[in-house]
């Protein structure tokens, strides 16, 4: 992977995508669990496990259709972070453990289950901004006036509104606004382009990103020729491509899952477009599909984790992850590691009291994380000065 924004340095980086079906390259950690939501108030009743552990919930659903390989890097990163904290805990202290969801349990029921399990001291998740925002009232326990409120630290929920609904939700990733600023600077300053088109997935993430990146592009003097939403199994993609080509877009900025937008890009190329292709962090998954990496070599995308960073914390994480799991860590693993470390450090500092854990996180000193220094803005769940890099796709 070649970083092409501010650092311009190279590194070989081959991993499986969190959304792909490539399972063999990761260790999938799945707990066999079995109780319904109805027995939520008994310690460990829902998920099983050792009663004297302090559990960190893993609020990334395992679908019945089989996405275990996609979430494995997140689980691996989180477990690595907790295990490292356990190695330095005082003798006799309760160990930290990762509590994974029962297969098929969706985001909202999963949030309720973790909130109602007293052995859970904090939650990692959710992945998407929509599920995190939907679960926020559950973690704040509005149903019971906050008596059972539980902190959640999201690894990849980027919509700016995620942390605005309750002070019980934090994140360790940059926001859409941060990513938009990086893309706009790259288009205007690094590529010196002035005419772009935006393709965005018609969901909460895509619409929010489109708004942010348009504002930043205009501020940099870039003309947005058009902005088009796309959906799964899109029809009429040739019309999208024709407009992009005829209007002379010098770059196509894409927000959302890459799978659904590929027909538009292919058709635009067939019609003669030479526009630069720039995607969000989900486009990193194309690295794990050799045919796509070759076909779309040169595509740029944002990433929140630079494995070549010289900081000791990043280097130590990258080396530890490779030793343990046999593959380089992808961004999702690094972000989940940071989320787990934030919660685990809080529990080590103040014990299993949920309110104290939340307050410790809100006022914690800067923490050296795998994705950079983690420090939260006053009265906010957003981290300050998180890095966003531009990476280039190579075969």
pLDDT tens per residue, range 71-99: 889 999 999 999 999 999 888 788 999 99
Q: What are the structural domains of the chain?
A: 37-174+310-385 (3.40.50.2300), 176-303 (3.40.50.2300)
Q: What is the pLDDT of residues 313-352, one digit of tens each?
A: 999 999 999 999 999 898 999 999 999 999 999 999 999 9
Beta strands across the sheet bearing 195-201: 9-10, 2-3, 389-392, 300-303, 276-279, 251-255, 195-201, 223-230
Query: What is the band of 356 on the pLDDT scale with cuts at 50, 70, 90?
Result: very high
Q: What are phi and psi of 261, to 5 degrees?
A: -95, -10
Identify the pLDDT of residue 282: 85
- End-to-end Cα spacing for the chain: 10
Is 17 or 62 the better-scoring residue by pLDDT? 62
Mean pLDDT on 156-174: 94
Q: Longest Cα pair distance anywhere in the chain, in angstroms? A: 69
- 235: confidence class by pLDDT, cuts 50, 70, 90: low
d(CA 335, CA 121): 19
């Amino acid at each position: 992977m070649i970083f092409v924004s501010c650092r311009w340095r190279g590194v070989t980086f081959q991993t499986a995508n969190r959304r792909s079906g490539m399972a063999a390259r990761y260790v999938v950690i799945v707990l066999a669990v079995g109780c319904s939501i109805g027995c939520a108030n008994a310690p460990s009743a829902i998920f099983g496990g050792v009663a004297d552990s302090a559990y960190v919930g893993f609020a990334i659903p395992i679908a019945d259709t089989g996405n275990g390989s996609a979430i494995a890097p997140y689980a691996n990163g989180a477990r690595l972070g907790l295990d490292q904290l356990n190695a330095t805990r005082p003798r006799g202290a309760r160990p930290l453990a990762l509590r994974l969801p029962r297969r098929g349990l969706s985001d909202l029921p999963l949030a309720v289950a973790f909130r109602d399990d007293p052995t859970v001291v904090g939650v990692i998740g959710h992945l998407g901004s929509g599920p995190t925002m939907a679960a926020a009232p559950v973690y704040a326990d509005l149903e019971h006036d906050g008596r059972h409120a539980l902190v959640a630290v999201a690894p990849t929920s980027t919509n700016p509104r995620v942390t605005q609904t309750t002070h019980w939700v934090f994140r360790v990733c940059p926001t859409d606004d941060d990513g938009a600023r990086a893309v706009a600077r790259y288009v205007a300053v690094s590529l010196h382009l002035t005419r772009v088109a935006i393709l965005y997935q018609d969901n909460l993430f895509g619409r929010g990103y489109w708004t942010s990146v348009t504002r930043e592009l205009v501020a940099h003097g870039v003309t947005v020729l058009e902005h088009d939403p796309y959906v799964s199994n899109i029809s009429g993609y040739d019309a999208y491509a024709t407009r992009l080509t005829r209007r002379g877009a010098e770059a196509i900025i894409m927000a959302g899952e890459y799978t659904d937008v590929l027909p538009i890009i292919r058709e635009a190329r067939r019609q003669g477009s030479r526009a630069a292709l720039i995607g969000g962090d989900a486009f990193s998954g194309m690295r794990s599909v050799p045919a796509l990496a070759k076909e779309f070599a040169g595509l740029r995308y944002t990433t929140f984790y630079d494995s070549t960073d010289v900081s000791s914390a990043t280097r130590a994480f990258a080396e530890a992850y490779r030793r343990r799991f046999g593959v380089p860590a992808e961004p999702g693993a690094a972000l989940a590691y940071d989320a787990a470390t934030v919660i685990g450090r809080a529990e080590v500092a103040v014990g299993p009291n949920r309110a104290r854990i939340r307050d410790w996180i809100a006022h914690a000193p800067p923490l050296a994380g795998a994705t950079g220094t983690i420090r939260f803005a006053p009265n906010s769940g957003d981290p300050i000065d998180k890095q966003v890099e531009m990476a280039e796709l190579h075969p």
